[in-house]
Structure 1
Amino acid sequence: MVVQRLQAAALLLGPLIFALSPFFWVDGHYGITGGTLIALSMVPWVYGLIGEYERLRERVPTLAGLWLLLLVIGMFGSIAFGLQGFFEGVFDITERVSLAALDEYPPHSLFLLWLPGPSFPLALLAFGVLLGWTRMAPRWVAVLVCLAAVAFPLARVLRTDWVAYIADLLMVLAFGLLAWRAWHRPVAAATSD
């Protein structure tokens, strides 16, 4: 029961922390505080999603395992982008200079940023599809998760504050609903916490 409640709370806490980041953007860039919030948000968010993985694993074990791998890679990419924003702010480097420096290390930046970066929103989209397909949540909630997953990278690519606010509000709403459902879910008989 305790773990279930912690994971339910984490399903909301992660997106809430993440949603604070655009309020600290500096000229459309993550900056020190925004980058820190993005990186830190991944820990509770993924912890909450691991609780959902356990439920998915019962219904679609192979797909759940592949989804978990994508989720972990995406978490790594989101943390990397958050840290990039943090270090750009710390060293007072513009995004152009930062991206130009990354061009000098193509395989490294490919594996640290460009491949894992899109994996987190892709994992959220896959999660929404799996929620709907397995009927672990009402279809409208699954659709809301999918919409939030699509809006997530759009907001980050456009770097427009109001788009980010709307995208993050959609994400908080979708995961708030999932957190509410997880909090009130009956505890499985096999668990002993």
Structure 2
Amino acid sequence: MMHAAPPSPPGTAAEPAADPLARLLQAHPETVFDYFEFRRVMAGNAAALAAERATPEDLARLRTCMEAMEKAHALDDPAQEAATDAEFHLAIYEAAHNLVMSQVMHRVFDMLKIGVFYDRIDLYRRRGVRDAFLRQHQAVWQAIAAGNPEQARTMAESHINSTEEALREAQFANSRRDVALRRRAGSDLTGRPR
């Protein structure tokens, strides 16, 4: 089940109603899996490039992002953890030192923050997801810090695969819940009263 976040305040990410790409993607919820396919390619390549190209300043920013994510995780704050997750990934794209990649991914993350693809905070509220995501982010960070491009690529792609799987499971659970609620309300599976 797709949940859209409320629109961002003026001056931040474009509201879906004003953005043709966001409108198109929201009109076709199945594109969330196109998004994951795209992210898998981009995240793996960006992590590998970051492992090769990151400057000491980039590594310091990534370390700061990782520490912020660990702190949010310890506070059990899904919204803050989702926000630090996004900052960590954007720092990787910037550490790849590919301006086109960085700009494209900033735009993609703007849409992600306003719920165009899926509700990230809801995903972080799911049992076991937060712990797994933290371990995966730590593995990506360690591979980049070690200057190991292939390990960084593998860990980043694995994280995107895990995120996609978590979303599929969440959608399936939401669908089961909706069916159960309709049954309790006295409707058949199509939502018509019995």
**Band of TM-score, shorter chain:** 0.3 to 0.5
What TM-score results when the alignment is normalised by the length of structure 1?
A: 0.40
What TM-score results when the alignment is normalised by the length of structure 2?
A: 0.39
Structure with a larger share of its residues in helix: 1
